[in-house]
């Protein structure tokens, strides 16, 4: 299965929202990286990534989330993920990204999701 990345406009907190569907792996990760880079180049600093329809995520996909979060943070923003289920949610929990990215199963207001202090 391939990856679909859809721009879903802004959410209630003013974050740009991406919806992912399919599988995020080594072959599809560049597609998500390009989408995040385009949004950052357009001045977006807050990004909410909806994983409701993502069925698989490997370490390459995790690296894309980390890279996107690092870029957003460096620019004074954030990258959050929401909606993960099954294996994808388990990967987020096992890797610790659920805490780093302020993961919530349903983040209606991602700005309200506390992120742990690093350092």
With cut-offs at 50, 70 and 90, classify the pLDDT of residue 103. confident
Mean pLDDT of 2-20: 85
Our count of domains for the chain comes to: 1
Q: How far is CA 40 from CA 29, 45, 84, 113, 117, in A?
A: 17, 6, 23, 21, 23
As given in the structure block, the two tokens for residue 42 are 């357009």
Write down the pLDDT at residue 101.
87
DSSP 5: E
As given in the structure block, the two tokens for residue 13 are 């907190």
Q: pTM here?
A: 0.83
Mean pLDDT of 101-108: 68
CATH of the domain at 95: 3.30.750.24
- Structural domain containing residue 68: 3-104
Is position 115 within any domain? no
pLDDT at 119 over 80: no
Q: 63 — alpha (psi -120 to 50), left (phi > 0) or beta? A: alpha
Is position 59 within any domain? yes
Is position 14 within any domain? yes
Is position 118 within any domain? no
């Amino acid at each position: 299965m391939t990856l679909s990345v859809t721009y879903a406009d802004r959410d209630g907190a003013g974050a740009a929202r991406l919806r992912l569907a399919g599988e995020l792996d080594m072959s599809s990760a560049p597609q998500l990286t390009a989408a995040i880079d385009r949004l950052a180049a357009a001045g977006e600093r807050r990004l909410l990534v909806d994983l409701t329809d993502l069925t698989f995520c490997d370490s390459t996909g995790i690296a894309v989330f980390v890279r996107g979060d690092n870029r957003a943070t460096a620019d004074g923003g954030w990258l959050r993920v929401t909606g993960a289920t099954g294996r994808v949610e388990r990967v987020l929990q096992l890797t610790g990204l659920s805490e780093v990215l302020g993961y919530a199963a349903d983040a209606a207001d991602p700005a309200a999701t506390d992120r742990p202090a690093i350092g």
